[in-house]
């Protein structure tokens, strides 16, 4: 049976109809889903400006402008795979430990039967339980982390689980492949040189935003693909990897970031890699101007879904 796709915008205006991502069906409206989009509106782990709990709905609203054919990748993702929106998962906003457990359990449930999950945050705390779930499905995973910040710090005010600590905890728990870890787009001041020393000890390579500028997209992609190989790959994207000119609506903006064009072209360079899941976090619409940030996030999500759908179709063809 052919996948159920988005509402036809030639018959129903984009501002009407379904409110799911790209106006796709809800998960409970389809028999199965190859790719699921879900929101985790949790932001109790932030260290500066809150508001990312409203990110999932802002991304969905901006996604109403997306169209079903992706010319950059020459695919119609919603024809290649059944994509559905699971809506938002309610998590405890007052208990970080309980919230992390709930997110992991939900991610495991949503990825049954080899379903791939694209998650909308929420703050970057949610990456840890998502990685836990991915590792239970695939073993320790390669990680591409797009962010202005390292997010490998130890604690804040004695708290071990915040949006600045998920990848240190992931390293300590052995759920990421230390031979295939990379930050992309990092920049800005740090607390000290030890931040970088710890990060290297965990196994991370760093491609700064300046590296992307000087080396260009093609060389950046080549280096990252070489590091990843054919390992199961998880992609985690903090929207503040983009320069504030391209993503003002986020909690901890840093000057000197990459452009929305650069991140889209880098992601498109990962076509054919074994991507098993992804998240987009830290979209905080209260600080957004004219939906610049949520529009960027919706297009990033669209390209991630396109990559996953293309991979799904290739694997289905190989099995036929």
34 annotated among ligand-binding-site residues: no
pLDDT score at 12: 85
**Assigned CATH for 21-319:** 3.40.800.10
How many angstroms separate the CA atoms of 235 and 14, rounded?
A: 29
pLDDT score at 266: 98
pLDDT score at 14: 80
pLDDT score at 320: 60
In Å, how far are 147, 242, 247, 250 from 289, measured between CA atoms? 20, 15, 9, 11
- Residue pair 270/220 in contact by the 8 Å Cβ criterion: no
Q: What are the structural domain ranges in the chain?
A: 21-319
Q: What is the pLDDT along the chain (320 residues), one digit of tens a residue?
A: 789 999 888 778 888 878 899 999 999 999 999 999 999 999 999 999 999 999 999 999 999 999 999 999 999 999 999 999 999 999 999 999 999 999 999 999 999 999 999 999 999 999 999 999 999 999 999 999 999 999 999 999 999 999 999 999 999 999 999 999 999 999 999 999 999 999 999 999 999 999 999 999 999 999 999 999 999 999 999 999 999 999 999 999 999 999 999 999 999 999 999 999 999 999 999 999 899 999 999 999 999 999 999 999 999 887 76
pLDDT score at 102: 98
With H, G, I as helix, E, B as strand and everything else as coil, classify residue 271: coil
**What DSSP character marks residue 22?**
G
With a threshold of 0.85, does the pTM exceed it? yes
Residue 52 is encoded by which pair of tokens?
């990312």
243 annotated among ligand-binding-site residues: no
List the alpha helices (DSSP H) in 76-126.
Answer: 77-80, 96-110
124 annotated among ligand-binding-site residues: yes
145 annotated among ligand-binding-site residues: no
288 annotated among ligand-binding-site residues: no
**What DSSP character marks residue 197?**
H
How many angstroms separate the CA atoms of 122 and 202, rounded?
A: 25
85 annotated among ligand-binding-site residues: no
């Amino acid at each position: 049976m052919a996948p159920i796709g988005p509402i036809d915008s030639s018959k129903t205006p984009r501002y009407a109809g379904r409110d799911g991502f790209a106006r796709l069906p809800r998960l409970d409206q389809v028999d199965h889903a190859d790719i699921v989009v879900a929101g985790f509106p949790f932001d109790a782990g932030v260290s500066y400006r809150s508001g990312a709990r409203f990110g999932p709905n802002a991304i969905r609203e901006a996604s109403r402008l997306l169209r079903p054919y992706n010319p950059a990748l020459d695919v119609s993702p919603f024809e290649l795979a059944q994509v559905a929106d699971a809506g938002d998962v309610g998590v405890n906003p007052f208990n970080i430990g309980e919230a992390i457990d709930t997110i992991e359990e939900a991610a495991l449930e949503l990825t049954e039967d080899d379903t791939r999950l694209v998650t909308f945050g929420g703050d970057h705390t949610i990456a840890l339980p998502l990685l836990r779930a991915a590792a239970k499905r695939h073993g320790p995973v390669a990680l591409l982390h797009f962010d202005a910040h390292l997010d490998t710090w130890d604690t804040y005010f004695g708290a071990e689980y915040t949006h600045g600590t998920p990848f240190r905890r992931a390293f300590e728990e052995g759920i990421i492949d230390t031979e295939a870890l990379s930050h992309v787009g990092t920049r800005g001041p740090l607390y000290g040189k030890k931040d970088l020393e710890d990060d290297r000890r965990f196994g991370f390579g760093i491609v700064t935003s300046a590296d992307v500028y000087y080396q260009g997209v093609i060389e950046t992609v080549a280096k990252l693909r070489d590091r990843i190989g054919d390992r199961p790959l998880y992609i985690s994207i903090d929207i503040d990897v983009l320069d504030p000119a391209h993503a003002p609506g986020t909690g901890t903006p840093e000057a000197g970031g990459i452009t929305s064009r650069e991140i889209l072209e880098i992601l498109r360079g990962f076509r054919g890699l074994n991507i098993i899941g992804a998240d987009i976090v830290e979209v905080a619409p209260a600080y957004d101007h004219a939906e610049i940030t949520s529009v960027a996030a919706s297009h990033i999500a669209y390209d991630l879904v396109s990559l996953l759908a293309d991979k799904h179709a290739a694997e289905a063809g190989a099995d036929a």
